[in-house]
């Protein structure tokens, strides 16, 4: 039995695709009115156009959800730490982070937040290129499942793979979670470039040099470079920097155009840019694109200043 904690776009999509495959799934939301509506009309406004299968149970009872052997944590990264600290002590079983980011308070990834709050649990993460709408439509999708406990990783891979959702497995949790977190920052930068009319060539340059700085930090934190070259890093970087289905990319577009953006939309890369700028500065790892994105979002620099600061860096070997 699988519990999905968080009925946003991603949690709902995972719950739907797993339930359609005949797996026992319970979807938990904190908002009782949302739970009642999902039960009544078998739809969720967070994922428009998708019908919830009849065999998908929906609940507002967190204690019941937390008793399941596999729990998918589908909350934004910045909400996860406080949520788990309040609710998670005592939770055991396989706890799978389904979010992408670096926590601003601890400068750690989602699995470290699980370890801190739920010492009896086995932490894992699912990440990689996938839009919730694509997963829910049953379009083919491949993701990375990272877990240091091999037996739990094998079990999760089996439990969560479906006819259209293919999971690859790795023990490199640090690499997988950093790939997913850092690509969102580069996607904001890519959006800025396109929004400001700086051209496709500049976007390709930013993606490539962005990837270089993703790998640099990941290696410094003990990850394998190969993991960054996989679905969770390179794969998701390509998707998120090139599609305006991405909220991070669209946020960047708005920044580049000098327009506002709906603050209620989940844009993980914004907080992660701040967190990673602090983290990398503390470690002495150069991440110029990430630093520029953080400064742009804070309003400390303009787009022309951001462009100038990247182009005027000392010339170097690739
Ligand atoms: N959408 C996508 O295509 C994909 C998203 N992801 C990742 O999934 C994660 C979640 O994103 P997504 O589902 O899209 O986001 P949404 O904005 O659609 O949903 C966020 C969900 O988290 C809930 N939530 C937020 N804060 C809390 C809290 N403190 N306690 C309990 N519930 C809370 C919200 O509840 P409420 O409605 O009550 O506020 C909502 O159900 C992100 O890290 C994202 O990067 C990964 C791959 C694809
Ligand atoms: O992570 C995602 C795709 O893999 C979703 O991207 P956004 O959060 O930018 O919409």
What pLDDT is recorded for position 94? 98
Tell which residue, 253, 229, 235, 227, has the closest CA to residue 109. Answer: 227
Residue 264: Cβ-neighbour burial (10 angstroms; 0-12, 13-18, 19+) = exposed
Pairing assessment for the beta strands 121-127 and 93-97 based on DSSP bridges: parallel
Residue 179 · residue 230 · CB < 8 Å:
yes
pLDDT at position 89: 96
- The pLDDT value recorded for residue 215 is 98
Residue 29: per-residue pLDDT? 98
The protein residue whose alpha carbon is closest to atom 32 in ligand 1 is 6
Is the distance from CB of 259 to CB of 87 less than 8 angstroms? no
> What's the whole-number mean pLDDT along residues 24-34?
97
Structure confidence at residue 203 as a pLDDT band (50, 70, 90)? very high
Which pLDDT score is estimated for 230?
98
User: pLDDT-derived band of residue 270, with 50, 70 and 90 as boundaries?
Assistant: very high
Q: How far apart are CA 60 and CA 168, in angstroms?
A: 32
**pLDDT, tens digit (0-9, with 9 covering 90-100), for 114-154:** 999 999 999 999 999 999 999 999 999 999 999 999 999 99
**CA–CA distance, 285 with 279 (Å, rounded to integer):** 9
How, if at all, do strands 121-127 and 141-146 pair?
antiparallel
Question: How does pLDDT run across 38-81, given as a tens digit for each residue?
Answer: 999 999 999 999 999 999 999 999 999 999 999 999 999 999 99
Which protein residue's CA is at the shortest distance from atom 24 of ligand 1?
75
Q: Which atom of ligand 1 is nearest to the CA of 98?
A: 8
* Ligand 2 pocket check for 127: Cβ under 6 Å: no
Mean pLDDT confidence for 223-238: 98
Pull the structure tokens for residue 82: 């406080």
pLDDT tens for 247-262 read 999 999 999 999 999 9
Q: What is the mean pLDDT of residues 288-300?
A: 98
Indicate the pLDDT class of residue 306, thresholds 50, 70 and 90.
very high
Catalytic residue set: 183
CA atoms 293, 202, 132, 93: torsion sign: negative
Strand order in the sheet with 93-97: 56-59, 25-28, 2-5, 70-73, 93-97, 121-127, 141-146, 165-170
- Looking at residue 224, its pLDDT comes to 98
Is the distance from CB of 263 to CB of 202 less than 8 angstroms? no
DSSP collapsed to 3 states, 262-300: CCCCCCHHHHHHHHHHHHHHHHCCCCHHHHHHHHHHHCC
The alpha-carbon radius of gyration of the chain (Å, integer) is 19
Q: Which residues pair with 121 in a beta bridge?
A: 93
Closest-approaching ligand to the CA atom of 237: 2
Report the C-alpha gap between 8 and 76 in whole angstroms: 9
Q: What is the mean pLDDT of residues 29-37?
A: 97
Neighbouring-strand partners of residue 4: 27, 72
User: Do the beta carbons of residue 179 and residue 173 sit within 8 Å?
Assistant: no
239 lines ligand 2 (CB under 6 A): yes
Check if the beta carbon of residue 268 is closer than 8 Å to that of residue 76.
yes
pTM metric for this prediction: 0.98
Q: Ligand 1: does its nearest atom lie under 6 Å from the Cβ of 78?
A: no
Q: Is the CB of 46 under 6 A from ligand 2?
A: no
Q: How confident is the model at residue 212, as a pLDDT?
A: 98
* Average pLDDT value for residue range 181-187: 98
* Segment 85-121, tens digit of pLDDT: 999 999 999 999 999 999 999 999 999 999 999 999 9
Q: Where are the beta strands (DSSP E) in 165-293?
A: 165-170
Q: Say how many Å lie between the CA of residue 180 and the centre of ligand 2.
A: 9
Q: Where are the beta strands (DSSP E) in the chain?
A: 2-5, 25-28, 56-59, 70-73, 93-97, 121-127, 141-146, 165-170
* pLDDT recorded at residue 268: 98
- Please identify, by atom number, the ligand 2 atom nearest to the C-alpha of residue 267: 8
100 is in an annotated binding site: yes
Q: Report CA-CA distances (Å) from 188 to 8, 195, 240, 260.
A: 21, 10, 9, 14
pLDDT at position 254: 98
DSSP letter at 89?
T
């Amino acid at each position: 039995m699988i519990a999905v904690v968080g009925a946003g776009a991603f949690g709902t999509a995972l719950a739907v695709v797993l339930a359609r495959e005949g797996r026992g799934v319970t979807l938990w939301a904190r908002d009782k009115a949302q739970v009642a509506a999902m039960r009544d009309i078998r739809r969720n406004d967070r994922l428009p156009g998708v019908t919830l299968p009849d065999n998908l149970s929906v609940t507002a009872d967190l204690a019941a959800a937390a008793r399941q052997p596999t729990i998918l944590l589908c909350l934004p990264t910045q909400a996860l730490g406080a949520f788990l600290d309040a609710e998670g002590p005592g939770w055991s079983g396989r706890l799978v982070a389904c979010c992408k980011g670096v926590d601003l308070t601890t400068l750690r990834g989602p699995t470290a937040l699980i370890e801190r709050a739920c010492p009896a649990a086995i932490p894992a993460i699912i990440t990689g290129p996938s839009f919730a709408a694509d997963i829910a439509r049953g379009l083919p999708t491949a993701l990375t499942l990272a877990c240091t406990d091999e037996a739990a990783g094998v079990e999760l891979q089996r439990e969560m793979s479906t006819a259209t959702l293919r999971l690859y497995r790795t023990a490199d949790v640090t690499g997988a979670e950093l790939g997913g977190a850092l690509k969102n920052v580069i996607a904001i930068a890519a959006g800025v470039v396109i929004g400001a009319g700086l051209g496709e060539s500049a976007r390709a340059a930013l993606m490539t040099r962005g990837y270089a700085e993703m790998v640099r930090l990941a290696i410094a934190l003990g990850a394998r470079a190969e993991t960054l070259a996989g679905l969770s890093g390179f794969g998701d970087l390509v998707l998120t920097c090139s599609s305006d289905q991405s909220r991070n990319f669209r946020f960047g577009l708005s920044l580049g155009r000098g327009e506002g953006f709906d603050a209620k939309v989940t844009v993980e890369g914004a907080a992660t840019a701040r967190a990673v700028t602090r983290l990398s500065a503390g470690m002495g790892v150069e991440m110029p694109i990430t630093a520029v994105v953080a400064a742009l979002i804070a309003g400390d620099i303009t787009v022309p200043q951001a462009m100038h600061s990247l182009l005027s860096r000392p010339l170097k070997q690739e």
